[in-house]
Amino acid sequence: MAENLIVDCGVPPRTAWRLASELSLDVAAHQFNTLTGDPRAGMRGTRIWEYEQWPERGVRPTITALRVLAQVYGTSWKSLLGLRDLEQLPAKDLAEYHADVEPAAAPPAAAEELPYPARAVARVEPGPDADVGAGSLDDAILLTKTNVDDVQLDDLWSDLDFVGGAYTRTAPDSALSQLAVVGERTAALLRGRQRPKQTQDLLLVGAKCASMMAWIAGDLGRFRLSRELNSAAWLYTQYADDFLARRWVRTSQARVAFWAGSGVESAKLAADGLNYQVGGRLTDAPLILAEARGWSSVQAEPQVLDAIARWTSIEDPELGAGGEDRFFNITKDRRHYMAGTSLLSVGQASAALREFKTAREAHEKLSLENRWGAMDPMIRIDTGRAHLRLDDLEGAAAQVEPLLIADVGRQPDMVHAMLKVLADELSGPRWRNVTAARNLAEALLDAQASARP
């Protein structure tokens, strides 16, 4: 029946096998937890549904989770993967898929048949030589006891991926609260006992969670909290000793430092992040552009142009939103916006306008769920600033006038800050005696003030 659903009806394998087993999502989750013999595993029907949606969306199931689900459905774990799944599997999982030889189907196993190590360890009775190494075996066996399993780790990673992917359409306060829960769960697990690999995984979760929280707190203008969170994230990375984690944190630190007013520090943090080579999972573009933006704050034109040139040489116009690190791998519209702001700050107004035009086109091509809400007002504000540098007041007004009737109250702190920058430039010596410029400056300041809670 499952094969008919897959072949004739086009139903994805994991859904097909569950339906063929006549199990609801919640019943399948209950049997999953029964098989693991660990009530703390906490498999839920919603998580199984997310497994079934992958790879188009949802969450990638771990090999361990697939093995348990296969026993629930009475099949082999490899039967739960289709061709589309195999194309998206990480190399390690794909190698295990090809290396594992198992029957196509197996009868459902009872919970006690699952080959999990027993959690209760009987103490070895001392013999005549109990005084020599007494208790050593018991102490070693303690290493097999753990308060963490693959399901819990997968759940933590999935929650991070979900919040990271949803941040473009989620209020920053809400995202920060969701991440705080993940951080608390991670810290609670770290206080228990894990095997070394599990401890490192938890440290990586902690590093990514804290750096994401720092990034979002910076968007809210809470820079003291941002720095504390980034310090915590860096401490996690030091114990995890992982290059990708260090790159996550440096990316967040560079962003927070820039918006907190420390441009040179931002540039140096971004440059250091580039020293941690991670093989493409987190591209160089965000850090190179952060380096350019940091130097632009002190009008260091040679450093800015050098960074922009390095970015241009590696820019991939097809690189879109997606992947496990999409929170840090910024989209094309944001990449070109960052390039434009850096060029504008060193007097390259015409080049900046070209970048802003590309940024707007890329932004409009994104699906609504992948658009960052602050991107449109930021592009408008800085495009307006570029027009001012070219003595085009009408062009500047055309860009920012839509913001005067929009509700920017929920926008990140950086939007309010840039409204103030543009208003100040309109009030500067070049435009001070131009009535239209004064009126526009006052309207921008009014919009900024009314947006405040």
Is residue 332's pLDDT more than 70? yes
Residue 409 banded pLDDT, cuts 50, 70, 90: low
pLDDT for res 122? 39
Q: Which of 116-120, 153-157, 269-273 has the lowest mean pLDDT?
A: 116-120
Is residue 450's pLDDT more than 80? no
Q: Which of 60-74, 176-190, 233-247, 324-338 has the lowest mean pLDDT?
A: 324-338
Q: Which of 140-144, 341-345, 387-391 has the lowest mean pLDDT?
A: 140-144
Q: Which of 16-20, 91-95, 163-167 has the lowest mean pLDDT?
A: 91-95
pLDDT for res 73? 92
Q: What is the mean pLDDT of residues 285-299?
A: 94
Q: Could you tell me which residue, 409 or 286, shows the higher pLDDT?
A: 286
Q: What tokens appear for 445 in the block?
A: 């300041």
Residue 106 banded pLDDT, cuts 50, 70, 90: very low
pLDDT for res 143? 59
Is residue 117's pLDDT more than 50? no
Is residue 113's pLDDT more than 60? no
- Distance between CA atoms of residues 24 and 81, nearest Å: 19
pLDDT for res 115? 38
Is residue 118's pLDDT more than 70? no
- Distance between CA atoms of residues 144 and 117, nearest Å: 8
Q: What tokens appear for 186 in the block?
A: 């991670």
Residue 120 banded pLDDT, cuts 50, 70, 90: very low
Residue 194 banded pLDDT, cuts 50, 70, 90: confident
Is residue 415's pLDDT more than 90? no
Is residue 121's pLDDT more than 60? no
Q: What is the mean pLDDT of residues 300-305?
A: 96
pLDDT for res 84? 83
Q: What tokens appear for 412 in the block?
A: 């990140």
Q: Whose CA is closest to 252, among 220, 287, 283?
A: 287
- Kindly report the average pLDDT of the chain as a whole number: 84
Is residue 114's pLDDT more than 60? no
Q: What is the mean pLDDT of residues 111-125?
A: 39
> Do residues 431 and 393 lie in contact, with contact meaning Cβ atoms separated by under 8 Å?
yes
**How many alpha carbons lie under 13 Å from residue 32 in its C-beta half-sphere?**
26
> Do residues 338 and 291 lie in contact, with contact meaning Cβ atoms separated by under 8 Å?
no
Return the ∠ at Cα 267 (arms to 262 and 268), rounded to 5°: 100
The pLDDT tens digits for 207-266 are 999 999 999 999 888 999 999 999 999 999 999 989 999 999 999 999 999 989 999 999
Q: Whose CA is closest to 211, among 242, 189, 171, 188?
A: 242
- % pLDDT > 70, the chain: 85
- Distance between CA atoms of residues 20 and 80, nearest Å: 12
Averaging pLDDT over each range in 51-55, 165-169, 263-267, which range is the top one?
Answer: 263-267
* Ramachandran assignment for 261, one of left (phi > 0), alpha (psi -120 to 50 degrees), beta (any other): left
- Distance between CA atoms of residues 424 and 444, nearest Å: 10
pLDDT for res 123? 42
Alpha-carbon separation of residue 306 from 277, 288, 342, 347 (angstroms): 20, 10, 11, 15
- Distance between CA atoms of residues 453 and 442, nearest Å: 19
Q: What is the mean pLDDT of residues 57-67?
A: 87
- Distance between CA atoms of residues 136 and 199, nearest Å: 23
pLDDT for res 3? 80
SS (H, E, C) 139-169: HHHHHHCCCCCHHHHHHHHHHHHHHHHHHHH
Concatenated DSSP letters of 364-380: HHS-GGG--TTHHHHHH
- Distance between CA atoms of residues 80 and 89, nearest Å: 13
- Other C-beta atoms within 10 Å of 90: how many? 11
